[in-house]
Amino acid sequence: MLDNFFNPQTIAVIGASRTSGKVGHDILKNLIQYGYQGAIYPINPEAPEILGLKAYPSILDVPGQIGLAVIAVPPKSVLEVVVQCGNKGIDSAVIITAGFKESGLEGTKLEDELVRKAKESGVRFIGPNCLGIIDSHSRINASFAKGMPEKGNIGFFSQSGALGIAVLDLALSEGIGLSKFVSMGNKADISDEEIMLALSEDDNTKVILGYIEGIRDGKKFVEIASQVSKKKPLIILKSGITSSGIKAASSHTGALAGREISFDAAFKQSGVIRAQTVGELFNYALAFANQPLPQGPNVAIITNSGGPGILAADACDKLGLQLVPLHKDIVDKLRSFLPPYASFYNPVDILGDATAERYEKALYTVVQDDKVNAILVLLTPTAVVDVEGTAKVIANISHIIDKPVLTSFMGKKSVEAGTKILMKYNVPNYSYPEHAVSSLNTMFKYNLWIKKHEEVYPTFNNAREKVRDTFECLNNEKREHLRESEVYEVLDAYGFLQPKSLLARTPEEAVAAAKGIGYPVVMKILSPHVIHKSDIGGVRMNINSKKEVENAFFDITTRVRHVVPNAHINGVMIQEMISGGKEVIIGITKDAQFGHMVMFGLGGIYVEVLKDVSFRIVPLSKDDAHEMIRETKVFPLLRGVRGEAEADIEAIENSLLILSQMALDFPQIIEAEINPLLVKKRGEGVVAIDARFIIGGD
Amino acid sequence: MLDNFFNPQTIAVIGASRTSGKVGHDILKNLIQYGYQGAIYPINPEAPEILGLKAYPSILDVPGQIGLAVIAVPPKSVLEVVVQCGNKGIDSAVIITAGFKESGLEGTKLEDELVRKAKESGVRFIGPNCLGIIDSHSRINASFAKGMPEKGNIGFFSQSGALGIAVLDLALSEGIGLSKFVSMGNKADISDEEIMLALSEDDNTKVILGYIEGIRDGKKFVEIASQVSKKKPLIILKSGITSSGIKAASSHTGALAGREISFDAAFKQSGVIRAQTVGELFNYALAFANQPLPQGPNVAIITNSGGPGILAADACDKLGLQLVPLHKDIVDKLRSFLPPYASFYNPVDILGDATAERYEKALYTVVQDDKVNAILVLLTPTAVVDVEGTAKVIANISHIIDKPVLTSFMGKKSVEAGTKILMKYNVPNYSYPEHAVSSLNTMFKYNLWIKKHEEVYPTFNNAREKVRDTFECLNNEKREHLRESEVYEVLDAYGFLQPKSLLARTPEEAVAAAKGIGYPVVMKILSPHVIHKSDIGGVRMNINSKKEVENAFFDITTRVRHVVPNAHINGVMIQEMISGGKEVIIGITKDAQFGHMVMFGLGGIYVEVLKDVSFRIVPLSKDDAHEMIRETKVFPLLRGVRGEAEADIEAIENSLLILSQMALDFPQIIEAEINPLLVKKRGEGVVAIDARFIIGGD
């Protein structure tokens, strides 16, 4: 994919310049200097030669074919150049030039025009307003960044050029290899998703890192990210998540910054590993790039000092990794060669005078414990420690076993010689044990993700046809709310049980209805002009006798007439009163970026005060429904506390999947909420007590 | 304080050795090499001279006085040496030797003996089992660590020698200056609290850092830490907080690792800044050591690129720092010299081609906004940026203003020249913007702490005498629970309102009592042999008539007789049934390290499932009571949601303070719980519905 970007036969630099420091000069220089092997054509209408290469007035003057065009001409000329590219048969371009959407209204128009022209001309492009691209394997440095990262297996794409520069500088300084680097700029044509796909198919890339501020098409993102993350770890730093952040994001690239909640759901559903800081991006990447995945949560720690061992143990505990007790045989073996004051349990403390040999023996012994899935080796630079020797033995053992080994050689200068060796032999080292632990945890979580069985997306086929007319009629009538009877009909079509209910137009009918349904009953006004029924006294609960029914009928109708004098009153709904069970809220909302999302929360103050809700983007898989219930803090209440019976959790899951289907069937739903959905005991199902729907255009 | 440790006239190294690599050699060498100016006496029974200094067979042979003894002889000889120290009139010693409490039962005995002997001999000591101490100002390096940190204003003490080594190495590598370094070892004599006090009185120390695994005396810790933290920031990394961590801690130093919850309360109450990782310890220290405190939460960000600006804005938002909108005049001024594409709002984006001069002007303009309390300057190494020049202008401005300026020059090699300049001129630089923000936030929080008005500890004096006999009689009877009537008496003495209640021995008495109290009533069995009344059907609620009282009386007594055949039944309590209001739980628990703590939580599942409770260590100040209610997640429920009336929060605060007093009055309380405490509307107080007390020995 995108072959002509990362493996072109020839490259033209359009806007190549003789003046050092100019972007068009620096790109050309980078291409030459870092060893690109194909032909390079500087394009400059005035210079006959630049940096020793023959220059051409325009690409049309270049004799042979051109694989990739790198464009660094002024913004107004970019459109013309792109058309020329099309004429020359160039299908791939990197547009460095700034002055488009990021610069205001004028620029936005220019960018729109650019997209149109490029499409007409058959030219796909990265940018505009970007730093360029780098491929360390095909030796292409088509960027104006300083330096070229070492060959490596980490692919990185960034919406922010500046952050890209900082990351490149870090990679260069620390000797971290990158496979590809792509500065995405305004993403006017080639999208994050396309780059993610290209990196997922790139044999040189083992881990994919990305920095994004906003995305264009949420659905597409989830679809592609899920696909990519099943093949390779996809680690993303997403900014602009908070209110201040969003302000900054909008003034920066004009990208519509996503709401935290929808991105969170999207990342969860698509297996994206979310980094919270640039530091985490690197920490995680190093672990994935260099070590196998842990097959379970069990960690063993080997250390030459207690303090760091405790810090690491604390960190494991916080994240849910297990400090597994070592097998008796392993403990015995450790005891056979470690000094008596050592700790033979986990963390294994091999003491401050530990030699490289002692580290080697301890590590070699511990890895043989079948229960241990990952090993963390800690070292503090005590007076007698052999930093280099220890690094070597760790590297050696790490190469012959299939469990991840991560290290934290603490300190700096005293351990540098060791950490360089570790780095060289693919053992990721972290200055602080906590970072090693969080990286390990991320690997463990990712392993769970890729081992997850195929997602199941159940469908419920019958409902749509039944209520299609209801939704369409709404559209014709320009109404936004479904009426009571329509709500009943829709919920019924989708298989939701609802309380028995009958419409009564007179007190007598009401009494008959109540008798038929069985006491106690609930009575509610039914009027197209009354939406918030209970606010105006239009609802009465727990009605137990004929007398009470008659009184309530009179009360309700009088009050409604009083408060909404012109309301048309259809009558009073007599409804079965269902008690017992737990009240939950389920619903559908529509997010600007990701479209419909399904929500779950326990009813009442749990939602209002604690905001203890979970979201998933439509369509929901069975796993999604399963997980979203369990990730709320109040989940134990559904399981039953203090000897209570377990609620019918499966029925809630099913209800969430039905809502997902409903959102697919009727995209015009802007908001839907069943509140409360009464959940009975396990096996006894749920009842939709009340619901409302807000509908927009298609 | 501890003058002879940090400023002795002369130093003896007892156990000085001629053999390089031996601890007794390395310490002597460090003392000489790093420029200690007083006389140094190597003590060695066999060598006439070590490292060019005349050696003595014992300290008793040294002609003059000795200020500090550094002891590195084998464990068995330490006791004798300490006695000699006493004889020689030495009052201060650093005991490096290991093989004491950390090594098992034998060592523990030896350590106890050491403590006794030292006390008898009038010798105070640091250690044993430690790395030694360093004072960069008096040029004392009485440790076997490699290297000597630069002079600085950060004081550091560490329970873990190895972590101390790692920290020293980091400080040395990064050029971070330390004032004092103390390896605490087993803390057999001189405690964390004494060192904290000494550092707080040390003019060379501006910030105090500590690493602790466990403490000896929780009350003392809170008392001293509160005192110290009002003078200087006290930043502590506490490990062993989680279950795995505790295991590691116990096997390491034998220190009793504290429970997370009590340490959390202790740190909050004493203004300790808690670092979660070694990295945070340094990040925070650098900010405090070099910059003034921000006087408010308002931050301005200046950046040469959007991405990092957003990341910083996100971080501010997460922590509650404000990206304050700049004053119109400031924006106008910025607009007058910044390029048109720049962002004149906060974050101020001065664009990728920003020169040092542009940074200078922007920074100088922004600091003049009165609302801005702190400034964060971000820089990414774009092609044209002048890293060194920019560092210089930031340093210059930082020196003439009284607001904190923190920087994040991102990347590494490309910005190194700049970060060195920043470091030299006391502007803390962070590789990632998020770390700068969290450090700033910590400074802001600390400023709130030191500005807090004097703590108020209300006392309630009358109660103790009234119920002293009750508690004492319990002790004599070897009972653990207070009886119903005793609970009533105790709560009453401490001013808790309780439901009206009367004891009835016959159905007739019950009916009369209910009539007197007023329906509805609650009826409860009263028997010294029945603790969990409701479990065996000994409680009936909501009793509304004479008939129901009679039935209930019969029912309750029959059931109790059936379930607990030999129970002595005093009768049935007839109690006013109080409804309305919110149920909370308040209580007292006893922590192994910190003694009594007072707990607050909203009743029912909030405590059981959500664990939404807060703790403070006794005695509670008014602020403590105020804050602990507000830090629970369900606090909004007390304020009233959906138009509900506000609960009487002040009455809860008062109740918590009373419990604090109660714990002081009766230290034999092991556990007390008022559950539920019914909280009525604001101004209407609280009622203690039910309570239980568990009492131990004094």
**CATH code for the structural domain at A159-172+183-290:** 3.40.50.261
* One CATH from 3.30.360.10, 3.40.50.261, 1.10.150.120, 3.40.50.300 for B292-451: 3.40.50.261
Nearest residue, CB atoms, A432 vs list B239, B278, B384? B278
Say whether residue B633 is in contact with chain A using an 8 A CB cutoff.
yes
Q: Which of B176, B314, B346 to mutate to test the interface with A (most CBs of A within 10 A)?
A: B314
In this structure, what token pair is assigned to residue A125? 């492009």
- Please check the confidence at residue A502 and state whether its pLDDT lies above 50: yes
What integer pLDDT is reported at residue B236 of this predicted model?
A: 97
Say whether residue A578 is in contact with chain B using an 8 A CB cutoff.
no
Backbone angles phi, psi at B374, to 5 degrees: -155, 150
**Bigger pLDDT: A392 vs B557:** A392
- Please check the confidence at residue B545 and state whether its pLDDT lies above 50: yes
Question: Can you tell me the distance from the alpha carbon of B501 to that of B636, in angstroms, rounded to the nearest whole number?
Answer: 33
What integer pLDDT is reported at residue B139 of this predicted model?
A: 96
Q: How many CB atoms lie within 10 A of CB A584?
A: 28
- The answer to whether A380 contacts B415, with C-beta atoms less than 8 Å apart, is no
Say whether residue A521 is in contact with chain B using an 8 A CB cutoff.
no
Q: Domain B1-129: give its CATH architecture.
A: 3-Layer(aba) Sandwich (3.40)
Among the ranges given (A248-257, B146-155, B199-208, B603-612), the one the predictor scored with the smallest mean pLDDT: A248-257
What integer pLDDT is reported at residue B605 of this predicted model?
A: 63
Percentage of chain B exceeding pLDDT 90: 71
- Please check the confidence at residue A642 and state whether its pLDDT lies above 70: no
- Please check the confidence at residue B226 and state whether its pLDDT lies above 60: yes
Nearest residue, CB atoms, A248 vs list B144, B309, B432? B309
B578: left (phi over 0), alpha (psi -120 to 50) or beta: beta
Inter-CA distances, B575 with B185, B541, B586, Å: 59, 9, 21
Q: Identify the CATH homologous superfamily for domain A500-576.
A: ATP-grasp fold, A domain (3.30.1490.20)
In this structure, what token pair is assigned to residue A466? 């039944």
Say whether residue A251 is in contact with chain B using an 8 A CB cutoff.
yes
- Please check the confidence at residue B110 and state whether its pLDDT lies above 70: yes
pLDDT tens across A505-549, in order?
Answer: 999 999 999 999 999 999 988 887 877 777 778 888 889 999 999
pLDDT tens across A395-451, in order?
Answer: 999 999 999 999 999 999 999 999 999 999 999 999 999 999 999 999 999 999 999
Per-residue pLDDT band for B596 (boundaries 50, 70, 90) equals very high
Question: Can you tell me the distance from the alpha carbon of B359 to that of B336, in angstroms, rounded to the nearest whole number?
Answer: 14
Q: Which residue of A has its CA nearest to B281?
A: A432
Q: How many CB atoms lie within 10 A of CB A462?
A: 9
Look at the domain B454-497+578-698 and name its fold. D-amino Acid Aminotransferase; Chain A, domain 1 (3.30.470)
DSSP A415: G
- The answer to whether A323 contacts B277, with C-beta atoms less than 8 Å apart, is no
Is B384 exposed, middle or buried (CB count within 10 Å of its CB: 0-12, 13-18, 19+)?
Answer: exposed
Tokens 């660590």 — which residue? B145
pLDDT tens across A584-630, in order?
Answer: 999 998 888 888 999 998 876 666 677 788 899 999 999 999 999 99
Say whether residue B175 is in contact with chain A using an 8 A CB cutoff.
no
Tell me the residues of chain B between 219 and 248 that have a Cβ less than 8 Å away from chain A: 237, 239-245, 247-248
Question: Can you tell me the distance from the alpha carbon of A530 to that of B600, in angstroms, rounded to the nearest whole number?
Answer: 43
Amino acid at residue number B540: R
Domains B149-290 and B500-577 belong to one CATH topology: no
- Please check the confidence at residue A242 and state whether its pLDDT lies above 70: no
Cα torsion for A294, A295, A297, A303, to the nearest 10°?
-40
Cis peptide before B128 (omega within 30 of 0): yes
List of chain B residues whose C-beta atoms are within 8 Å of the C-beta of residue A236: none
What integer pLDDT is reported at residue B242 of this predicted model?
A: 55
Question: Can you tell me the distance from the alpha carbon of B647 to that of B679, in angstroms, rounded to the nearest whole number?
Answer: 6
Question: Can you tell me the distance from the alpha carbon of A519 to that of B80, in angstroms, rounded to the nearest whole number?
Answer: 91
Q: Which residue of A has its CA nearest to B316?
A: A244
Residues in chain B: 698
pLDDT tens across A346-382, in order?
Answer: 999 998 889 999 999 999 999 999 999 999 999 999 8
List of chain B residues whose C-beta atoms are within 8 Å of the C-beta of residue A310: 213, 239-240, 245, 248-249, 252
Q: How many CB pairs under 8 A join A and B?
A: 277
pLDDT tens across B51-106, in order?
Answer: 999 999 999 999 999 999 999 999 999 999 999 999 999 999 999 999 999 888 89
Q: Which residue of B has its CA nearest to A638?
A: B609
Is B118 exposed, middle or buried (CB count within 10 Å of its CB: 0-12, 13-18, 19+)?
Answer: buried
Q: Which of B102, B250, B310 to mutate to test the interface with A (most CBs of A within 10 A)?
A: B310
pLDDT tens across A55-104, in order?
Answer: 999 999 999 999 999 999 999 999 999 999 999 999 999 999 999 998 88
Amino acid at residue number B108: T
Question: Can you tell me the distance from the alpha carbon of B656 to that of B633, in angstroms, rounded to the nearest whole number?
Answer: 18
Residues in chain A: 698
**CATH code for the structural domain at A1-145:** 3.40.50.720
Residue pair B571/B484 in contact (Cβ under 8 Å)? The answer is no
Average pLDDT score over residue span A216-224: 92
Say whether residue B66 is in contact with chain A using an 8 A CB cutoff.
no
DSSP B389: H
What integer pLDDT is reported at residue B253 of this predicted model?
A: 35
Tell me the residues of chain A between 288 and 347 that have a Cβ less than 8 Å away from chain B: 304-311, 313-314, 316-318, 323, 341, 343, 345, 347
Per-residue pLDDT band for A27 (boundaries 50, 70, 90) equals very high
List of chain A residues whose C-beta atoms are within 8 Å of the C-beta of residue B276: 434
Say whether residue A609 is in contact with chain B using an 8 A CB cutoff.
yes
Among the ranges given (A300-304, A629-633, B137-141), the one the predictor scored with the smallest mean pLDDT: A629-633
Q: Is A529 helix (H, G, I), strand (E, B) or coil?
A: coil
pTM metric for this prediction = 0.88
Question: Can you tell me the distance from the alpha carbon of B141 to that of B131, in angstroms, rounded to the nearest whole number?
Answer: 11
Q: Identify the CATH homologous superfamily for domain B500-577.
A: ATP-grasp fold, A domain (3.30.1490.20)
Which residues, in sequence order, are CB contacts of B22 under 8 Å at separation 6+?
Answer: none
- Please check the confidence at residue A551 and state whether its pLDDT lies above 80: yes
Residue pair A179/A173 in contact (Cβ under 8 Å)? The answer is no
Backbone angles phi, psi at B298, to 5 degrees: -90, 120
Strands B613-617, B691-695: pairing kind: unpaired
List of chain A residues whose C-beta atoms are within 8 Å of the C-beta of residue B170: 410-412, 431
Nearest residue, CB atoms, A309 vs list B159, B170, B248? B248
Tell me the residues of chain B between 341 and 400 that have a Cβ less than 8 Å away from chain A: 341, 343, 345, 347, 349, 352, 380-384
Say whether residue B610 is in contact with chain A using an 8 A CB cutoff.
yes
pLDDT tens across A28-44, in order?
Answer: 999 999 999 999 999 99
Provide the strand spans (E) within B213-303: 234-238, 273-275, 298-303
- Please check the confidence at residue B390 and state whether its pLDDT lies above 70: yes
Question: Can you tell me the distance from the alpha carbon of B145 to that of B162, in angstroms, rounded to the nearest whole number?
Answer: 10
CATH class of residue range A582-695: alpha beta
DSSP B681: B
Q: Which of A157, A298, A310, A532 to mutate to test the interface with B (most CBs of B within 10 A)?
A: A310
Say whether residue A170 is in contact with chain B using an 8 A CB cutoff.
yes
- Please check the confidence at residue A235 and state whether its pLDDT lies above 70: yes
- Please check the confidence at residue B526 and state whether its pLDDT lies above 90: no
Residue pair A537/A559 in contact (Cβ under 8 Å)? The answer is yes
Question: Can you tell me the distance from the alpha carbon of A517 to that of A511, in angstroms, rounded to the nearest whole number?
Answer: 10
Look at the domain B149-290 and name its fold. Rossmann fold (3.40.50)
What are the residue ranges spanned by the domains of chain B?
1-129, 149-290, 292-451, 454-497+578-698, 500-577
Q: Is A607 helix (H, G, I), strand (E, B) or coil?
A: helix
How would you write A617-629 as a 3-class SS string? ECCCCHHHHHHHH
Question: Can you tell me the distance from the alpha carbon of B677 to that of A673, in angstroms, rounded to the nearest whole number?
Answer: 36
What integer pLDDT is reported at residue A465 of this predicted model?
A: 87
Per-residue pLDDT band for B590 (boundaries 50, 70, 90) equals confident
Calculate the CA B89 to chain-centre distance. Answer: 37
